[in-house]
Structure 1
C-alpha cells in the first residue's frame, strides 16, 4: 500500500497557517454550540441543516486547500478534529434525546474519540498525519445520510446506522495502515 505524501509535504512548507480553508475549518467548531442550542430547543430538523452547513464548509475548505495549494499541517490536523468534534456532538445529542441506542452511540464515540486522540497524539510527537482520503469522506457522507434518516424517523434508520458504523471501523483500519506505512517511510529517509 503506497501513501502519496510527497506533494503534500512540499505544499505545507510554502503556506501560512491562517488561511481561508483553516478559517472554514474553525467555523465548524463555532457551529457546534449553534447546533446544540437549536437541537435542544426542539428544532431537530433545523439542527440537521446546521450540520449540513458544517458539512458544506468541510467540502469547501478541502476544495480550496487542494486547488489553491493552501494545505497546512495545522489544517491537516484541525480538519478531521473539527469533523470528529461535530460528529461526537451529534452522537451525544441523538443519544440524549433517545433517537439512537446507547450501543450505537458507544461504538461511534469510541471510534471517533480514538481517531481524535490518536491524530492529536501523533501530530504533537512530530509524526506525519494522513490527509483525509476518499474512504473517510465517503464514511462522513454515509453518516450524514444516517443522521438524516434518524431525524426524519425513517423505519430503517437504525439498521442503516449500524451499517455505517461498520464502514467507519473499516475506514479507521485503513487510516491506521496508511499512517504506519507513511511514518515507516519517513524514518527511512
Structure 2
C-alpha cells in the first residue's frame, strides 16, 4: 500500500460524506469535501508519477475512485434538482459504456487496456469543474444563469467526444 493508494482510498471514503452533505443541503461542507477530493486526486497522481510510487493497485483504484466520485455526485445533484437529469444520464452512460466494453472484451478473450485519451482527461476536468461550480454556487449563494448553461454544454460536448473516442478505439481493437 503506497502513499498514493492510501490517498485514493481516502478519496473513496469522501464520496459518501459529500453525498450526505448534498442531501442535507450542507453546500459549504459538500463543496469543501469535493475540493479536497479533487486535490487528493492531483496529489496521488503527482506522487505516483513523479516520485516513483506508481503501482498496479493504484492503476485500478484511481479510476474507480474518480468514477465513484463523479457518478455519485452527478446523480445526487440531479436528485436534488441542481443539475439536469439529461446531463447525468449522459455522464453515467459514458462510464457504463466503457465498463461494459472492457468486460465484454475480457469475456471474448480480447482484453483491452483502456488508457485515458486527451479528450477524456479534458472531459474529466470539465465534469469535476462543473460539479465544483454547482456546489460552489450553492455554497456561496451565487446565481450562475447562462454560465451554468454554457458549462453544461461543454460537459455534454466533451462527454460525447470522449464516448466516441473510446468506442472507436474499442471497435478497432475488437476488429483487429
TM-score by length of 2: 0.78
RMSD: 2.7
Alignment map for 1:47-126 (pairs within 5 Å): 47-119=30-102
| Unpaired runs of at least 5, structure 2 | 138-142
2: CA distance, partners of 1:150 / 1:141: 14
Structure-2 residue corresponding to 1:43 = 26
Can you list the C-alpha shifts for 1:120-148, whole angstroms capped at 9, x where unaligned? 66579783533445433322221222223
Over 3 Å counting, the alpha-carbon distance change for 1:104 and 1:46 in structure 2 is same
1: CA distance, partners of 2:47 / 2:103: 23
2: CA distance, partners of 1:37 / 1:142: 23
Structure-2 residue corresponding to 1:171 = 162
Structure-2 residue corresponding to 1:144 = 128
Over 3 Å counting, the alpha-carbon distance change for 1:95 and 1:171 in structure 2 is same
| Unpaired runs of at least 5, structure 1 | 1-17
Structure-1 residue corresponding to 2:140 = none
Could you tell me how far 1:110 is from its partner in structure 2?
Answer: 0.9
Can you list the C-alpha shifts for 1:66-103, whole angstroms capped at 9, x where unaligned? 11233223222221111111111111111111112221
Mapped contact 1:123–1:129 kept (Cα < 8 A): no
Over 3 Å counting, the alpha-carbon distance change for 1:49 and 1:164 in structure 2 is same
TM-score by length of 1: 0.73
